Amino acid sequence: MNERTGAGGRPTASAASSAAEATTTAPQGSTLPRPPRIPVEETICMQGFGWESHKNGHWYQVVESKIPELLEAEITHLWLPPPSQSVAPQGYLPGQLYNLSSKYGSKEELIALNRKLLEAGIRPVCDIVINHRCADYQDENGVWNRYGDDIDHAGKPIDWAQWAITSDDPVFRGTGNKDSGDDYEAAPDLDHKNKELRDGLVDWLKWLNRDIGFEGWRFDFVRGYAAKYLCEYIERSIGTDNTFHVGEDFLELQWNDGNLDYNQDNARQKLADYAREAKHATMFDFVTKGILQEAVKNCQYDRLRDHEGKAPGLLGWWPEKACTFVDNHDTGSTQQHWPFPNEQVMVGYAYILTHPGVPCLFWEHHFDWGLAEEINHLVALRKKAGIRADSQLEILAADHDMYVARCGGLTVKLGPRFDMPEDLVPSKEEGWEVAASGKDWAVWAKSQ
């Protein structure tokens, strides 16, 4: 790809390469198969890439080749990387939104992958990066804040100018409204208060759904714009009838002298507040992740029951809105910003797959770490037991070295303590049998 290099070494797609893609015609949405929608509460998602996946150059083809294994994993949704041309190869600094030639593959390869996933009954989820957008041109002062629109497409043009950038962006000198969320330093923050901009984004989202085959959205960096706009984007694109969406707010937890506080109500209140206003999206439960991995790492399983006897993350307050996970491309993978203890990853999966909430698995754990068989077995147990995002959870014990909980037809025990109190051991007389186990975890299933 030919590139222009902007301020700070930021390359943007050339008009020549964009024009080449414009000669291709996307198939009409009616030609793409659509599996029946399922209740969001029954969703089992997998993140279908890691931080280095773009280096393959044809990642979409890699994923397509793994569809038989994805079917064995019994997932309902697969979260795919940001599809648009991007300054950064991972996709999180998008420029030309309609240009789907990325480091992960071509537009044709993406459509082919989505078609195969849909035929298999797996719903593709698109990573939507709309808090910010990298510009194509400089203004008269040399600031990168003018946009091109080099791909022919229906709907509103996206050749925006300074008006599309927030006026309080400290670097890119926009003339729009003040930001409705946090600033993102690496790229111009978009003014979501502007209806013309929102209309352009909605047209793009509709196109991704109708012509490219996506069935849900994963919204990146939602702290950057108000939840009411996320709500609008869902309502005006795919709609709200049994569609899975999730927002990412990699929020800070409360620490004290290097130790994670037991009470993280402020953080989970922030997630709950955003979810309430967004209405139709779940939220990645970073609170549950942080508390769970601290409990596992330091043998502090008493962290897993809050002062009200509930699970300590968003999971305990609003499980239908809690998208639980062990690691992702930021926290784990090659970035390792906040990783779960490597040798105890299966303790994490034993927790999220036996509890309420919407579990999100990680590609690298499944395919690179050799954990597919163990994770698949837990998913199968979850489904057989009928556990959903809104299932009732009963926490039976939460001591420093042992945690025991029951949800649906499963009982899970975490922690190194070997001798469980007799009254907590699921009895064979009542139909309980050990169904899965590993280092510091065990799961019992009740015969139906």
Pick out the chain residues at pLDDT < 50: 1-29
- Give how far the C-alpha of residue 245 lies from the chain's centroid of Cα atoms, to the nearest Å: 8
β-pairing, 3-5 vs 11-13, is antiparallel
- Give how far the C-alpha of residue 274 lies from the chain's centroid of Cα atoms, to the nearest Å: 15
Residue 353: its pLDDT value, please?
A: 99
- CA–CA dist 422, 442 (Å, integer): 16
Q: Which amino acid is at 388?
A: R
Contact 284, 290 (CB under 8 A): no
Residue 28: its pLDDT value, please?
A: 44
Annotate the chain with three-state secondary structure: CCEEECHHHCEEECHHHHHHHHCCCCCCHHHCCCCCCCCHHHCCEEECCCCCHHHHCCHHHHHHHCHHHHHHHCCCEEEECCCCCECCCCCCCECCCCCCCECCECHHHHHHHHHHHHHCCCEEEEEECCCECCCCEECCCCCEEECCCCCCCCCCCCCCCHHHECCCCCCCCCCCCCCCCCCCCCCCEECCCCHHHHHHHHHHHHHHHHHHCCCEEEECCHHHCCHHHHHHHHHHCCCCCCCCEEECCCCCCCEECCEECCCCHHHHHHHHHHHHHHCCCEEECHHHHHHHHHHHHHCCHHHHCCCCCCCCCHHHHCHHHEEEECCCCCCCCCCCCCCCCHHHHHHHHHHHCCCCCEEEEEHHHHHHCCCHHHHHHHHHHHHHHCCCCCCCEEEEEEECCEEEEEECCEEEEECCCCCCCHHHCCCHHHCEEEEEEECCEEEEEECC
Residue 31: its pLDDT value, please?
A: 87
pTM recorded for the entire structure: 0.93
- CA–CA dist 33, 178 (Å, integer): 42
For the chain, the distance separating the N- and C-terminal CA atoms, rounded to the nearest angstrom, is 58
Residue 11: its pLDDT value, please?
A: 35
Residues tagged active-site: 220, 248
Tens of pLDDT, residue by residue over 147-171, are 999 999 999 999 999 999 999 999 9
**Residue 270, C-beta contacts closer than 8 angstroms, at least 6 positions apart:** 249, 251
**Residue 7, C-beta contacts closer than 8 angstroms, at least 6 positions apart:** 138, 142, 143, 144
